[in-house]
Structure 1
C-alpha cells in the first residue's frame, strides 16, 4: 500500500514504513490488537523506540484515523499529520457498509495491488479486521479531533466510494489547522494509484511548515 509512495517520498526525505502489529509482516497475538487504541499505543511506543518522536507522520485509511488519535493522545510525538482518506471520523459506518464500500472500490484500484492486498488481508485475518472495524463504531476520535494541535493535511481522492469528500470536509471543520487537497480520479488506495500526487502534496506541505 505504501511502497510506491515511499519511493517517491524517499527522493527528498528519509522514509520509515511501519507495519502495525497484526498487519503486513508484523506479528500480532490472539486478541491483539483488539481496538484502535492498541494500534495508537503501539505506534507511539515504536516512535519512541526508533528515536522518531516529533516527526511528521502519514497514514492512509484506518492509518489516518490512528495518526489523528496519536496526535490527540500523544501530542509530543508528532510535528505534522498527513491523513489520506482517513476512516471512521466523524462517520462510523457499520461493518457491513464498510465492506460494501470496499467492494465498490475494488474495480477502481490498480490490478497490481490486488494480489499483495489480498495477501495482506489474509495475514491480518478476518477476526482482527472485523474487531477493528467494529471498534470504529465506538471509537472516540470525534471528541479527540478537537485536541489535535499540529498542522494537518487531509488528502481526498475524488473517485473514492469509501471515504467521501463531505466526510473529509467535516474533519477539516473540527481540526484547527487542517488543509484539504483533492486528487481527481483517485480511488480509496490513493497512496498506491497516485503516489506522485500524494508525495508532491506531502512534500510541499512540509516545506511550507519548514519541517
Structure 2
C-alpha cells in the first residue's frame, strides 16, 4: 500500500520500476489536473521540492522524484550520467501515464530535464529550469565548489540542513563521480534542441547560476523566457516557494491551456 508523506497536500509515495532501476515518487496522483514533474539536482532528492510541490498542487498534479541513487531509492552499481537520468525521467512519465507534463529541474536537474525534453520530442508540454548548471565560465570542480560554498553561506540553516542530509546519504565518492558527469554534460548545446516552451529562473543572489549565464541559456533555447526571484539564492524552490510558484503561474497556465483536451492543440502533440 502507498504511504503518505507529511505535507499539506498529503502527497502519496510510490516506487516506480524503470528497467533495472527504481524511482521513488511523491505525488498527488490526480489525473484531472495538468501534471508537473519535479527533478532534483546533484546529491539531493525530491525532499527539497516539497514546499514548492505544496504550492503547485493547488492547481496541478505534482510529482517529486527521487532518481536512482538519490534520496530513498536504491543505489545503482555506478552513478548514472545525465543522458541516463534523462531517460529515467522519460520512462517515469510513461509509467505514470502522464500526458504532456511540464518538467521542472533544479541545478543539475536542469541538465536532466533538458536531456529528457530534447531526446523525447512530443513527451512534454514545456520545461522550467531553476538555477541551471553548468555555467561554462565555472567549468571545473574547483570553480563549482567555490560557488557552492558561497551559496551555502547565503541559504538559511533549514535549507542547508536538508541539502547536507541528502549529501551524506549519497556519500562523497558517489557525489564526486556524479560531478564528473555533470561537468561532462553541455546544457548550452542541448537546450538548442528543446522545441517546446521553456522558462529559465534564478534567484537574484544565486552564485551558481549567475545572471549572465541564465540570460545566455534563455537566448540559446528556441523558445524560453527568463525570470529572477528577488532575494533568493540557489535553492529558490525551498526558500521562496510561494514567490516562485506565483512567478511561474502565467507560464504554467499558458501550457495547461494547450494540453490535449483543453480546447487547443498541445505543443507536443
- Shorter-chain TM-score: which interval? over 0.9
Residue equivalent to 1:85: 131
2:234 maps to 1:188: yes
Residue equivalent to 1:132: 178
Structure 1 stretches lacking a partner, 5+ long: none
**2:193–2:222: 8 Å Cα contact kept in structure 1?**
no
Higher relative contact order (CA 8 A, sep 6+): 1
Q: For the residues of structure 2 that align with 1:208 and 1:103, how far apart are their CA atoms?
A: 37
Query: Number of residue pairs matched?
Result: 210
**2:111–2:133: 8 Å Cα contact kept in structure 1?**
yes
2:45 maps to 1:6: no
Work out which of the residue numbers 56, 69, 90 in structure 1 matches 2:102: 56
2:66 maps to 1:19: yes
How far 1:61 moved relative to its partner?
Answer: 0.6
Tell me which structure has the larger Cα radius of gyration. Answer: 2
**1:2–1:191: 8 Å Cα contact kept in structure 2?**
yes
- Report the structure, 1 or 2, having the larger helix content: 1
CA-atom RMSD in angstroms: 1.6
Following TM superposition, the consecutive aligned residue runs of length 4 or more in structure 1 with deviations greater than 6 angstroms are: none
Q: For the residues of structure 2 that align with 1:77 and 1:15, how far apart are their CA atoms?
A: 16
Q: TM-score under structure 1 normalisation?
A: 0.93
Residue equivalent to 1:112: 158
- Report the structure, 1 or 2, having the larger strand content: 2
Q: For the residues of structure 1 that align with 2:65 and 2:217, how far apart are their CA atoms?
A: 24
**1:153–1:181: 8 Å Cα contact kept in structure 2?**
yes
Q: For the residues of structure 1 that align with 2:182 and 2:99, how far apart are their CA atoms?
A: 26
Give the secondary-structure state (helix, strand or coil) at the position aligned to 1:108. coil
Residue equivalent to 1:28: 75
Structure 2 stretches lacking a partner, 5+ long: 1-47, 259-269
Give the secondary-structure state (helix, strand or coil) at the position aligned to 2:64. coil
Range moving further from structure 2, 67-76 or 110-119: 110-119
Q: For the residues of structure 2 that align with 1:100 and 1:89, how far apart are their CA atoms?
A: 13
TM-superposition CA deviations, 1:171-193 (whole Å, max 9, x none): 01110110001111110000011
Residue equivalent to 1:172: 218
Q: For the residues of structure 2 that align with 1:189 and 1:149, how far apart are their CA atoms?
A: 27
Q: TM-score under structure 2 normalisation?
A: 0.74
